[in-house]
Amino acid sequence: MSTPRDPHDSGAVASLTRLPGVGSARLAALLRCHTPVDAFERLSSGRPLDHRLQRWFRPDLVASLRVAAREFDPVAEAERLESAGIHATWLGCDDYPALLAVDGAAPTTLFSLGSFDALAARRVAIIGTRNASTAGLATARELGCALADHDVTVVSGLARGIDGAAHGGVRSSSGAGKAVAVVGSGPDVVYPRRHRDLWWWIAEHGLLLSEWPPGTPPDAWRFPERNRIIAALCEVLVVVESRERGGSLITARDALDRDIEVMAVPGSPRVRASLGTNKLLVDGATPATCVDDVLVALGLDHRRAGVVPFDPRPTPVGAQAEVLRACEGEPCTLDVLVQRTGLDLTVAALAAARLEHDGWLVEVGGWFEPTRSHFASSPEQWIPGESA
């Protein structure tokens, strides 16, 4: 719920995440109905929760949470967060990153060091195996540096190997590109320790994100969990090296599920660290042989290091593309759309609703007509399947 923040909301959120039995989904439901301070006060005092939460908080759970809540002090927690420079936000809060808020698997809470401004630039994720080859490390470092030189934000997981090399490349850049690290521990728990200097450099000059509160250890299961956040934050994902069953392939699948372009650096079939990336290429990933390939995929004109006109709206495909083409020329009612496209009424209605939501169509009095973004000057630039 979006309401003015209480000064102690951040401490209450951190305390709520630590309560046993309050997982991400249950916490999200709780924060849709109550502010963090109010939620914690109700749980700790036994005051009833909103009636909509009955299926999430059974009497036995509420009773155990009332006892557990005695171990936490939201006011002291808020002071510790402020002292450490850690910012806390949650799904539904005004300062929660919009990029993640629209994601179907958005983390309920975020604890961060640095500035969310790093997410305002174009964004490329660079990921790969921890057991990288010398060539792979060099490639990741060079790619991170080159993208930062073109003012592109580089997103990664700050693990050893490819991740750390990519962010090390950003650090060596003289450009305006930032580093965004999504970590699998609390934002104050440096892991791996060899990245201590890089960790705090990113916290100062970029953005370090975790869905876990301060003090959370780097348990192995947390790393696959955080991969979805890396995928959700990027516009293009580049896998530099990955073994055949590497964790990077999980992130690539997360990206594909979000219709984000996946690129892979080709490697020798003799190198185990390239088996996964080569498989991605066989499965249709775009080859990334140099930074120019990535810039082209991102929509940047590398010849002048600037942004060519691009449309931030999701590209319509399938039924949406058919409906959009049918509306070109003159406004259409839903019945006319069905006649022109041959689509089922339900399919056409859903496609039109999605196009309206994404900003491609506007509906006035039952008539649909295309909007005209300042990013596009002709239908051929934005209607899939049409060529100039």
Q: Assess contact for 155 and 124: CB atoms under 8 A.
A: yes
Residue with the two structure tokens 């070109």: 328
Phi, psi (degrees; rounded to nearest 5) at 28: -60, -40
Start-end of H helices in 206-344: 222-233, 247-257, 275-282, 291-298, 319-327, 334-341
| pLDDT tens per residue across span 249-273 | 999 999 999 999 999 999 988 888 9
- Please tell me the distance from the alpha carbon of residue 137 to that of residue 143, in angstroms, as a whole number: 10
Query: Which SS3 state, helix, strand or coil, does residue 349 take?
Result: helix
pLDDT score for 266: 94
| pLDDT tens per residue across span 186-209 | 999 999 999 999 999 999 999 999
* 31-40, 147-156, 332-341, 367-376: segment of lowest average pLDDT: 367-376
Report the topology of domain 319-382.
Arc Repressor Mutant, subunit A (1.10.10)
CB contact burial 127-151 (16+ within 10 A = b; e otherwise): bbbbebbebbbebbbbbbbbbbbbb
Work out the percent of the chain whose per-residue pLDDT is above 70.
91
**In the structure, what pLDDT confidence band is assigned to residue 377 with cuts at 50, 70 and 90?**
very low
Dig out the tokens for 169 from the structure: 């490349």
Q: In this structure, what DSSP letter does residue 53 have?
A: G
Q: What is the pTM of this model?
A: 0.75
pLDDT score for 302: 52
| pLDDT tens per residue across span 279-323 | 999 999 999 999 999 999 998 865 544 444 445 567 888 899 999
| pLDDT tens per residue across span 3-54 | 447 789 999 999 999 999 999 999 999 999 999 999 999 999 989 999 999 9
Please determine, looking at this structure, whether the domain spanning 114-307 carries the CATH number 3.40.50.450: yes
CB contact burial 283-295 (16+ within 10 A = b; e otherwise): eebbebeebebbb
